Structure 1
Amino acid sequence: MKVRTRLTLLFTFVTAMLMIFYGIAVYYSSSKARETSFYAQLRNEGVAKANLFFQSTLSEKEMHRLYKNNTKTINEVQVAIYDPEFNLIYHDDSKVDYVKEDPKMLSGILKNKEISFFINDLQAIGTVYTHNGKEYLVTAAGYDQYGYNSINHLLTISIIAFISILILIYLAGIFLSKKALNPLSEMVEQIKRITAGKLQLRLKTTKEKDELNELAQNFNGMLERLENSFDAQKHFVSNISHELRTPLSAIITELELASEKEHTKEEYQETIRFALDDARNMVKLSNSLMDLAKASYDPNEISFSEIRLDEILLESYSKIIKENSEYKVSLNIDSEVEEPQLTLQGNEYLLQVAFNNLIDNACKYSPEHTCCIDVKTHASSLIISFTNTGIIISPEDLQHIFEPFYRSENSKEEKGYGIGLFLTEKIIHLHHAKIKVASENNKTVFMVIFDF
């Protein structure tokens, strides 16, 4: 079922319930008002008949004749009068006695001064009438034909109006829902035209501050992120293909040359050594790409736990020294740094990858292969500095140093793929930290800043 139909039916149903509730309330209050009004009419008719009986010159027969003549044209009220000893002294028509009074009923009238009740469709009332110091009991009963006709007419009109209004509301609901959801239909048509090859298309937005315009703006924002992601993936795949092609081509060339003619044992060993170096480079590249993929996950999908930064730095320090015996790395932690300042929520593996890259880069591009790591606090931040001396980075290269696969002119003499710093920046940002670089006066410093 379409949203338009559901909204129309829901709107019609809610309106129907409200109208039914209103109709029941009106019918009930009108019925009670009729009942109260007719009781008052019965009381007045009983008192009038009693006045006529006690104070007029009309005989009882003449009053009976008057009653019977009235019953031919209207629903005349039937009245009976009893003396204090419960003896009947007057009745409009004793042969057709509506009330059928008994001593118990008459006692109740005398005790309560007035009672009212139903006899099937008839209403009846009993009241005390005082004449010459004596209390007489008067009962009056009758059928409120006019009142019931009015109530039935009201019910008929209400049912017809209810059905008519429901039909009109249903038609109005269809029109209004169609008009209200028309922008959604237009958005659906626009979305159908957006494909993987047409991510540059956008939904139309207006200056209105409504939910539909907000939806269109958020959807356009999602398309913007998807387009950037697709472009980044294309660029990423293109660079990966280029980087993988170089060592693969070298391996193939070396093996083809080795297979074309006989070589000495030393020449074969040299060919194998070259192929192994290229294979190891491919392994390093694939490991870097795997780390990059892990760092590119949704932050909600990466497990974080309580870690110590000094312990991770020591592990990175030990790992780099073990793998590269010519590297000289020093780690200095300021005495003012307290243990809580070194503890945070993070991913140990990813942070170690980031620190490994910074230490390796510092040693690699330093003529003395040295890296000095300093840990200190400043204001409400913990600052970890990775410093090397020697080759500085030009201002032009500093602007692109964290871009993927970018390599400066000074770094092309060393082996690498331009992934390390890009990966490091992503990891640092995942931990809500900042990374800065400064290169001047024969010294390059990478600073990682964690806020407390």
Structure 2
Amino acid sequence: MKLKKRPIFLEITKNSFFAIILILTIYTVSQLVVFWIFIDKHEIDLVKSRYQEIINLSNSINIEFSEKGFIEYLERLDYNENDEYIRIYSPNELYYQSPSEVWQYINFDYANQNIHIKSKSFDFEIYKLITGPIQINNSEYTLQIVLENEMFGDFIDNSLPILIVSIILGLILSGIGAMYVSKKFIYKIRKLIETMNEIKANGLNKRAEISEVNDEIDKLNTVFNSMMDEIQHGFDEQTRFVSDASHELKTPLTALNGHLSMLKRWGKNDKERLEKSLDTCISEVERLTKIVNDMLTLSRAEKVEIDLGNINEIEPKIIIDEVIEQYKILNPDVNYITNIDDIKVKIDPNDLKQLLIIFIDNSIKYNNKNNIEIRINFKKISNKMQLEVIDIGIPSEEINNVMKRFYKVDKSRKHNSSFGIGLSIASRIVKNYNGEVFISSELDKYTKVTVVFKQ
């Protein structure tokens, strides 16, 4: 049978209550222990003092007073101090013994030169017993003094009612305090739950309140708000991505629809118009294919997890030279300047080739000059591999946007047929290798894309 769980309010109240009770109990017991230690030391000092007093008197017999006077002094002690009892004895005789029933619980203990102090308990009373040697008229005896520990007993008797009332009051206050702490905690949790429900009902704009206390709940709210900001950003990016992708797809689809409609009406008999329309349709289909392929490439790059331990080292110079040769055939007016160290790097050749193609494509597309110069550097700095692609500059204010999907710096550029998704793919590939992409730029002077691989 499943046990029914208690509400969190009762659970916190119970735990807080027991925690406060435990602290109160430890504090009370500690106070009693400290007081007991103090009383015990005080009783030991008293019994030692009485023992020394009787020893001094026994040494003065026949000097200041007679042996009879010594006995009378002991009797007066019994009469004045009903909680103190004295016994003097030897193996042959009992010299003196205070009238008391306590002696039936105390054995004769013949002392030599040592003094013993013990605690004894009988009839629910605690006594302090000292046993030591004493000399009377050149005869050796043993002196025992029993002192009842009345201070602690009086303290308990007088303070017990107050202690009980204090404990009861402490329990009540502990319960109230535990309920207060629980309500305060639950209130903040409920506020967070209300915020979540409001977000669920009305959208992502609501955020949890952060108080000035900055306790753990506030830190939880801070983390929650940060998480919601990231979700909001991702949602906005996704919305923009869908909007931009729809726009990019709509343009060639509109062109295709227009030309195919025109051909259906009157283009079948006009050979020249037919050829032009078909060329346009093929071009737009190729454009659609490239958009879809880029989107699929980005999607795959976002799902890939790279294990550098399973990646073989390659010579980047071979891949860079291969890509440059391909571009020289397509764009013979582009000049390439390379500076590549004789190094090896852990990266999939296809990924490095993809990065180079994206960067070189952008360098060509965002360039209005007829003679284009692109510099490619690959070097090792400390324990990091660094790829640099440098070309003509884009506006520095555009740097924060160029990594966004479907973002174009300038759609009017001469060579620009970009869909604005390439650098997003590059950024994702680099992140898969625990690397980073940095872009610096000055308009019409230079744009430098730097990829740092932490290997």
Normalising by the smaller structure, the TM-score range is 0.5 to 0.7
The correspondence of residues 179-198 of structure 1 with structure 2, limited to 5 A, is 179=184, 185-195=190-200, 197-198=202-203
Q: Is structure 2 residue 295 aligned with structure 1 residue 283?
A: no
CA-atom RMSD, angstroms? 5.5
Match of 2:88 in 1: 81
Amino acid across the alignment from 1:200 = N
TM, length-normalised to structure 2: 0.66
Match of 1:138 in 2: 143
Q: Is structure 2 residue 313 aligned with structure 1 residue 313?
A: no
Identity rate of aligned residues, in percent? 21
Q: Is the 8 A contact 2:21 2:174 kept in 1?
A: no
Q: Is the 8 A contact 2:364 2:415 kept in 1?
A: no
For 2:322 and 2:173, the matched residues in 1 are separated by 77
For 1:395 and 1:90, the matched residues in 2 are separated by 111
Shift of 1:382: 6.0
For 2:72 and 2:366, the matched residues in 1 are separated by 137
For 1:425 and 1:155, the matched residues in 2 are separated by 76
Match of 1:18 in 2: 26
Match of 1:161 in 2: 166
Q: Is the 8 A contact 2:47 2:145 kept in 1?
A: no
Shift of 1:356: 0.7
Shift of 1:310: 3.1
The correspondence of residues 88-237 of structure 1 with structure 2, limited to 5 A, is 88-92=94-98, 98=104, 105-106=109-110, 109-112=111-114, 116=118, 118=120, 120=122, 124-141=129-146, 144=149, 148-151=153-156, 153-154=158-159, 157-158=162-163, 160-176=165-181, 178-179=183-184, 185-195=190-200, 197-205=202-210, 216-237=221-242
For 1:240 and 1:399, the matched residues in 2 are separated by 20
Q: Is structure 2 residue 438 aligned with structure 1 residue 434?
A: yes
Pairing partner for 2:68 from 47, 55, 63: 55
For 2:100 and 2:440, the matched residues in 1 are separated by 114
Amino acid across the alignment from 1:317 = I
Number of matched pairs: 425
Q: Is the 8 A contact 1:4 1:178 kept in 2?
A: no
For 1:434 and 1:96, the matched residues in 2 are separated by 94
Shift of 1:233: 1.3
Q: Is the 8 A contact 1:34 1:147 kept in 2?
A: no
Q: Is the 8 A contact 1:202 1:220 kept in 2?
A: yes
Shift of 1:449: 3.0
For 1:6 and 1:316, the matched residues in 2 are separated by 71
Amino acid across the alignment from 1:432 = E
Shift of 1:294: 5.3
Pairing partner for 2:37 from 26, 29, 51: 29
Q: Is the 8 A contact 1:374 1:385 kept in 2?
A: yes
Q: Which moved more, 1:34-43 or 1:9-18?
A: 34-43
Amino acid across the alignment from 2:89 = Y
Deviations 1:420-447 (A, max 9, x none): 355446667873332345664xxx8643
Closer/same/farther in 2, CA of residues 142 and 317 from structure 1, 3 Å limit: same
Match of 2:341 in 1: 338
Match of 2:298 in 1: 292
Shift of 1:403: 5.4
- 3-state secondary structure, aligned to 2:420: coil
Q: Is the 8 A contact 1:307 1:346 kept in 2?
A: yes
Segments of structure 1 that go 5 or more residues without pairing to the other structure are: none
Amino acid across the alignment from 1:282 = L
Match of 1:358 in 2: 359
TM, length-normalised to structure 1: 0.66
Closer/same/farther in 2, CA of residues 382 and 190 from structure 1, 3 Å limit: closer
Q: Is the 8 A contact 2:211 2:218 kept in 1?
A: yes
Q: Is structure 2 residue 420 aligned with structure 1 residue 418?
A: yes
Closer/same/farther in 2, CA of residues 358 and 112 from structure 1, 3 Å limit: closer
Q: Is the 8 A contact 1:203 1:220 kept in 2?
A: yes
